[in-house]
């Protein structure tokens, strides 16, 4: 279980770092780096916290009851979506710069969906291995 979670966390961090690098290169090419520091930092921190928390909770549930993992996948997705909505709405209320808000929402959605796809693919593979070995 530790290897599965450590791999998930490290790959998640790598994916987030890659997305951040791509985002910074694109923003630098368009010449608007100053405006994006805060929004990008918030996106990155949200995704890092969500991925690490998801990995640690998954490990805890997997140790106690493998039968509870499907419920965890549903609950974790719902909690992550609710947290994402809270963060986006909070950002909308706190920031008045329309360009920063637009950048934040677009960047947040790109990260959110790519991490969601990664999570799905990763844990489907893990579930298949568990079922084959179980």
pLDDT of residue 69: 84
Largest pairwise CA distance in the chain: 53
Residue 31: which region, alpha, beta or left (left: phi > 0; alpha: psi -120 to 50)?
A: left
Q: What is the pLDDT of residues 45-102, one digit of tens each?
A: 999 999 999 999 989 998 898 888 888 888 999 999 999 999 999 999 999 888 889 9
Q: Looking up tokens 């987030």, which residue turns up?
A: 16
Q: Looking up tokens 């493998």, which residue turns up?
A: 66
Q: What is the CA radius of gyration of the chain?
A: 17
Q: How far is Cα 62 from Cα 20, in angstroms, rounded to an integer?
A: 31
pLDDT at 34 over 80: no
Q: What is the pLDDT of residues 6-16, one digit of tens each?
A: 999 999 999 99
């Amino acid at each position: 279980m530790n290897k599965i979670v450590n791999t998930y966390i490290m790959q998640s961090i790598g994916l987030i770092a890659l997305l951040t690098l791509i985002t910074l290169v694109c923003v630098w090419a368009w010449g608007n780096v100053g405006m994006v520091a805060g929004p990008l930092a918030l996106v990155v921190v949200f995704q890092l916290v969500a991925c690490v928390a998801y990995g640690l909770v998954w490990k805890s549930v997997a140790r106690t009851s493998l039968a509870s993992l499907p419920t965890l996948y549903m609950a974790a997705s719902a909690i992550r979506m609710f947290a994402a909505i809270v963060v986006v709405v909070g950002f909308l209320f706190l920031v008045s710069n329309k360009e920063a808000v637009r950048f934040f929402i677009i960047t947040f959605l790109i990260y959110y969906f790519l991490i969601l796809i990664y999570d799905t693919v990763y844990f489907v593979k893990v579930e298949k291995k568990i079922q084959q070995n179980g």
